[in-house]
Amino acid sequence: MTPDEQLTYFDTNGYLNRGPVLTAAEVEAMRDGLDRVISLERGDGDDSSVEFKYGHDREGDAPEESGRDARAIHQYVNMWKRDPAYEAAIHNPKIAATACRLLRTPRVRLWHDQVISKPPGDNAHFGFHQDFYFWPLGPPNIVSCWLALDDATVDTGCMHVIPESHADPRFSPEAWARETSAAQTARDEGRPAEKTERDRMREADPSHGIPVELAAGDCMFHHCLNFHGTPPNVTDRQRRAFVMIFMAEGVRYNHAQSPGHILVPTIEVADGEPLVGDAFPVA
Ligand X SMILES: O=C(O)CCC(=O)C(=O)O
Binding site for ligand X (CB under 6 A): 116, 118, 126, 131, 144, 146, 157, 228, 230, 241, 243
Cis peptide before 139 (omega within 30 of 0): yes
Residue nearest to ligand X as judged by C-beta position: 230
Length of the chain: 283
Q: How far is the CB of 253 from ligand X (least distance, A)?
A: 20
Nearest to ligand X of 124, 193 (CB atom) = 124
- Residue 213 Cβ vs ligand X, minimum distance, rounded to whole Å: 13
For the beta carbon of residue 233, count every other beta carbon within 10 angstroms: 25
- The Cα 57–Cα 67 span in angstroms is 8
Nearer to ligand X by Cβ, of 183 and 235: the residue is 235
Q: Angle at the Cα of 146 (from 124 to 102), degrees rounded to 5?
A: 140
Beta pairing class for 108-118 and 137-138: unpaired
Quote the least distance from Cβ 138 to ligand X, whole Å: 18
What does DSSP assign to residue 31?
H
> Least distance to ligand X from the beta carbon of 199, Å?
18
Residue in 144, 138, 156, 84 with CA at minimum distance from that of residue 112: 144
Q: Least CB distance from residue 137 to ligand X, whole Å?
A: 14
Instruction: Say which amino acid occupies 237.
Output: R
Q: CB nearer to ligand X: give 178 or 208.
A: 208
Q: Residue 152 in 3-state DSSP? A: strand
Shortest Å, Cβ 191 to ligand X: 32
Q: What CA–CA distance (Å, rounded) separates 175 from 168?
A: 10
Where do the H-state alpha helices sit in 104-249?
173-188, 197-203
Give buried/exposed letters for 35-60 (b at 16+ CB in 10 A, else e): eebbeebeeeeeeeeebbebbbbbee
Do 72 and 120 form a contact (C-beta atoms < 8 A)? no
C-alpha neighbours within 13 Å on the C-beta side of residue 76: 28
> Shortest Cβ distance from residue 36 to ligand X (Å)?
20
Give least dist CB 115 to ligand X, A. 9
Residue number with CB closer to ligand X (133 or 276): 133
Q: Which is nearer to ligand X, 105 or 144 (CB)?
A: 144
157 or 209: whose CB is closer to ligand X?
Answer: 157
Helices within 15-110 (DSSP H only):
24-42, 63-66, 84-90, 93-103
